[in-house]
Amino acid sequence: MHLTHLIIDDFFNDPIAIRNQALSMKYPPRPERAIYPGRNAEGSLPLPGVERLISQIVQEPLQPKTNLSHCVPRIAMSDDLAKTSVHIDICHWSAIVYLSLDEHCQGGTHFFRHKKTGWDMAPAFPGVAEAAGYENAGEALDSILAEDESDLSKWEKTMTIPMKFNRLVLFRGYMWHDAGKAFGTTPETGRLILPMFFGNTQTG
């Protein structure tokens, strides 16, 4: 059995308080090399016990990936553009909590299948890349992203998880996905999310 996606609604007990905390933070300009749409907050939100909770949900020993934007709120408005589209997250589990109010929500998180290889995830398991003619998983990933990440004609959308206020979307970081639609003209009406990234304490 291999769990790949999980959706939990009404995730936070007091989501308005979390949303207000996120909106009160400063959002400096996006770094030149960043690939995500919008802007990250200048720091992370303190969420004591969230790693333990997610570990219990997926029944795996997890720890935060502090080299990623773990628990750092992100705002993307309609005039924000990302440099890339389809991608993976270098972690064992990714999580997104949607903090946009329902009356503002648009789109959601999209998942894809790579048409050329037929893969709905990066070659995360031994032998998959080699069976498709690549030297190794790293070479496969580099090749696919270099050639196809921004060309949606090379991908088949397999699923959209719709945005909903206080919905947690939990998925394997190696699933091909994109951030969905940015919207709104102010932080209060824009795409506000809280991303989280976890590694497995036993496998990384």
Report pLDDT for 66: 79
Q: What pLDDT sits at residue 110?
A: 95
Residue 51 has pLDDT above 80, yes or no: yes
Comparison of pLDDT for 204 and 42, the residue scoring more: 42
- Contact yes or no for 200/174 (Cβ under 8 A): no
Average per-residue pLDDT for the chain:
92
Using a cut of 0.75, tell me whether the model's pTM lies above it: yes
Q: What is the band of 82 on the pLDDT scale with cuts at 50, 70, 90?
A: low
Topology given in CATH for the domain delimited by 5-121+155-200: Jelly Rolls (2.60.120)
DSSP label of 19: H
pLDDT category at 176 given cuts 50, 70, 90 is very high
Sign of CA dihedral 122, 127, 133, 135: positive
For 181-194, the pLDDT digits (tens) are 899 999 999 999 99
Q: What is the domain partition of the chain in residue ranges? A: 5-121+155-200
Nearest to 74 by CA among 32, 22, 126, 123: 22
Given a cut of 80, is residue 47 above it in pLDDT? Answer: yes
CA 31: distance to chain centroid?
Answer: 18
Report whether pLDDT(98) > 90.
Answer: yes
Residue-level pLDDT at 84? 63
What confidence tier does 149 reach under pLDDT thresholds 50, 70, 90? Answer: confident
What percent of the chain is predicted at pLDDT more than 90? 74
